[in-house]
Structure 1
Amino acid sequence: MDGRKLLRHYRDYLSEFKVWEQRKHADKWLLYPHNLGKYLSIDETSLSHGELYTVLTNKAAKGKKGAIIAVVAGTKAEAVISIINKIPERERKKVLEITLDMAGNMELIAKKCFPCAVRVTDRFHVQKLATEAVQEIRIRYRWDAIDMENGAIEHAKKHNSTFSPEIFHNGDSLKQLLARSRYVLYKKAFEWTPNQKERAALLFERYPDLNEAYSLSMELSQIFDGTTEKLLGLAKLAKWHEKVRQAGFKAFGTISRSIQNHSETILNYFDNRSTNASAESFNAKIKAFRSQFRGVRCIKFFLYRLTQIYA
């Protein structure tokens, strides 16, 4: 049977897509006020060809039916606010907490639409900045190693000699050591395999500043993992900021400033240890749904099927 023909038949005759009450504006916005709860998440996701949509979800639904509250095309705060504000203000004031990333537009949406809710910046977005800073240093050293090796090869050719790269006792060249250390720097030290421990020792012996950057990243993670009180979290972050200042890494200095600029919403994490993991999980479900149907040919019909399951 022709799959496309079956899909068209389902869309046009078997489903209720043609009489769907939100069909007319589905590609611009969708709203399900009855799914509003006390604890929400807001994030952006891509449906097709990089086009972003802002998705507001109810955490209580745990990514199942009743999860979707609003889906709005784009990420412009004004457009999203105008749609969410269609929900009566009395209902929106019942929201106690909303988790979000560090984007300014998401914070503005949360602030304007849910004035009584505590805004919580997702800890994992903060930690991601730190791990990316470590990887940035590793990648810079890797390009330096590649450039140095290329120079040595060209020099050997000019002098009719053979180039032999430095090989460490674990079998890696310098270029390979830096390339293969990628996942080592993402993981905590106690999670390393014996081979990764050996590779990390070689890497940190060769590049002490990379060791220092890795330690700063892991220390930030430990603050979130092991702290349950807001005041204690504030004190630990203050000490971390001072270590960053002394280390002098530009990327970590930028992260430190970002944390300080979002300190109020970041510290709110320590009240209930709330994260935006539910939103990230829901985004993964949307991607899996999109993959299952081999992409999105019709945005409206895709959203119709999505909302039949999750709204």
Structure 2
Amino acid sequence: MGFFFGVDGKKLQRQYKKHLSNFTTWNQREHSSEWLLFPENMGQYLSIDEVNLSMGELYTVVTNKAAKGKKGAIVAIIAGTKAEIVINHLQKISPVKRNQVVEITLDMANSMKLIAKKSFPKAKQVTDRFHVQKLALEAVQEVRIRLKWEALDKENLEIAEAKLNKTPFVSKEFYNGDTAKQLLTRSRFLLYKSPNKWSESQKERAKILFQEYPKIETVYYLSLKLRNIYNKNTDKSVAITKLAHWYNDVEKLEIKSFNTIMNTIKINYDSILNYFDNRSTNASAESFNAKIKAFRNQFRGVRKVDFFLFRLTKLFA
């Protein structure tokens, strides 16, 4: 920009920061790296999430869904995720405004639930569906990875045995050209998708994978069943019944990772089921986090946190 106007870039940046931007007279500058509050942006439907601002430094961000990630979206940005600190700052907003919040979407972190409970006592908490589905997908991948290590161990033993017997080692290939190790490695992405989104090669690979490793097929369709509970049900009572059937399937399976998911769902049962009232998700918070990261990348990182937050709030608060 400085080159375009025929001036030194660093000088232009310094002039903008100290004179043109009003940063020096910003009324929240003194505490900006610790907390920022914009009570005027409070709405009935909020999202709360954490974001990595720079170099692993986490901030808790509260946004108003009605703003759709534009001007007026930021309600609060608070350094850290420690519940006591975040609650202390959010309670600086008047109780009248905080009690107007009727719903807040969040992840399954206990700190976030406590923040929502103490700061917005009249708001219904909704656990984000995508965090629940992500746990199931990760459990499927955990089974795939474990079987991959077993396949690697088996191949290593066969290679060692071939060397001992002084015979050439020939790795077994399936009809699509994959070895067992390659099959389990290349199946990673298809297990994230629904069958109707598989390419022809993925359909072929999935057929072989499920024939050779039926446990992967079982856990894959179990995770798909959980996704379909969210996708195909709008009635909370129906979702409760479907979830109970899903519990039964998990208990029969006796796989530790899926038992952990089941217990996690039970702990967050009420807030997970609240999704079916308005089908609310934390997508707006995730989208806003992506905007923060894009803004950070545009300026090649965060040199001064206070000035970065000043520019961010000028756009979104």
Scaled to the shorter chain, the TM-score interval is over 0.9
Aligned to 2:170: 164
Letter in 2 for 1:280: E
For 2:75 and 2:309, locate their aligned partners in 1 and report how far apart those are by CA, in whole Å: 13
Aligned to 1:99: 105
Q: Is 1:215 aligned with 2:224?
A: no
Relative to structure 1, is the Cα distance of residues 173 and 115 closer, same or farther in structure 2, using a 3 angstrom cutoff?
Answer: same
Q: Is 1:176 aligned with 2:177?
A: no
Residue 241 of structure 1: how far off its partner (Å): 0.5
For 2:16 and 2:142, locate their aligned partners in 1 and report how far apart those are by CA, in whole Å: 49
**TM-score (norm: length of structure 2):** 0.96
For 1:99 and 1:220, locate their aligned partners in 2 and report how far apart those are by CA, in whole Å: 20
Output one character per residue of 1:178-219: Cα deviation in whole Å (capped at 9) or x when no partner: 111011100011111111111111111111111100011000
Residue 148 of structure 1: how far off its partner (Å): 2.1
Residue 7 of structure 1 is aligned with which of 3, 13, 19? 13
Aligned to 1:264: 270
Residue 83 of structure 2 is aligned with which of 77, 88, 95? 77
Letter in 1 for 2:206: A
Relative to structure 1, is the Cα distance of residues 158 and 5 closer, same or farther in structure 2, using a 3 angstrom cutoff?
Answer: farther
Residue 4 of structure 1: how far off its partner (Å): 4.2
Letter in 1 for 2:246: W
Output one character per residue of 1:148-189: Cα deviation in whole Å (capped at 9) or x when no partner: 222322333333332111111111111111111011100011
Aligned to 2:127: 121
Q: Secondary structure at the match of 2:191?
A: coil
Relative to structure 1, is the Cα distance of residues 4 and 155 closer, same or farther in structure 2, using a 3 angstrom cutoff?
Answer: farther
Q: Secondary structure at the match of 1:243?
A: helix
For 1:91 and 1:214, locate their aligned partners in 2 and report how far apart those are by CA, in whole Å: 45
Q: Is 1:201 aligned with 2:198?
A: no
Letter in 2 for 1:273: R
Letter in 2 for 1:164: V
For 1:4 and 1:158, locate their aligned partners in 2 and report how far apart those are by CA, in whole Å: 68
Aligned to 1:153: 159
Residue 39 of structure 1 is aligned with which of 34, 41, 45? 45
Q: CA RMSD in A?
A: 1.1
Structure 2 residue runs of 5 or longer lacking an equivalent are none
Q: Is 1:227 aligned with 2:228?
A: no
For 1:4 and 1:247, locate their aligned partners in 2 and report how far apart those are by CA, in whole Å: 62
State the 4+ residue runs in structure 1 displaced beyond 6 angstroms.
none
Q: Is 1:239 aligned with 2:245?
A: yes
For 1:19 and 1:160, locate their aligned partners in 2 and report how far apart those are by CA, in whole Å: 80
